[in-house]
Amino acid sequence: MNVRIQNNFDNVNWNEVANLLKSAGMSYVDAETHKISFLNSASVVFLFDGDILIGIGRAISDMVRHGAIYDVAVNPNYQGNGLGRIIIETIVNSLPKCNFILFASPGKEGFYEQLGFSRLKTGMGYFIDSSGMRMKGFIE
């Protein structure tokens, strides 16, 4: 495995982004919407093994105080090799003045705790599809 970290959009196939999210069991939509989400993010990470997209992540941010991390996923065939850590550390290091929040997928909280994240005591969310988020285990 020869992992390359990329922080721009060169040769990113947005269908592959959607497929990666799907294969990792994450929420995914159409390729164009993922493209807009990443293009409007303050920090983006794409991991490639050769020309295979194997990991992604992004953060939206005001660049000076706050950031929120989304769409962190590693191809299941590549999980457990430190790539998730690379994605998170790359995002955090790219916005050094910022605090970060995120929604851990249910069961993945330990991954973020390993990386120095803490559970939020007063986290609140407003969702267009609140019943869907409740069914997926994200909200009470």
Ligand X SMILES: CC(C)(COP(=O)(O)OP(=O)(O)OC[C@H]1O[C@@H](n2cnc3c(N)ncnc32)[C@H](O)[C@@H]1OP(=O)(O)O)[C@@H](O)C(=O)NCCC(=O)NCCS
Please work out the total of residues on this chain that contact ligand X, with binding judged by CB under 6 A. Answer: 20
137 binds ligand X (CB under 6 A): no
Does residue number 47 form part of the binding site for ligand X (CB under 6 A)?
Answer: no
Q: Which residues pair with 64 in a beta bridge?
A: none
- Residue 85 engages ligand X in binding (rule: CB under 6 A): yes
12, 18, 74, 91: which one contacts ligand X (CB under 6 A)? Answer: 74
111 binds ligand X (CB under 6 A): yes
Of 5-13, 30-38, 79-87, 117-125, which part binds ligand X (CB under 6 A)? 79-87
Binding ligand X (rule: CB under 6 A), the pick from 26, 60, 68, 139 is: 26
CB of 90 to ligand X, least distance (A): 12
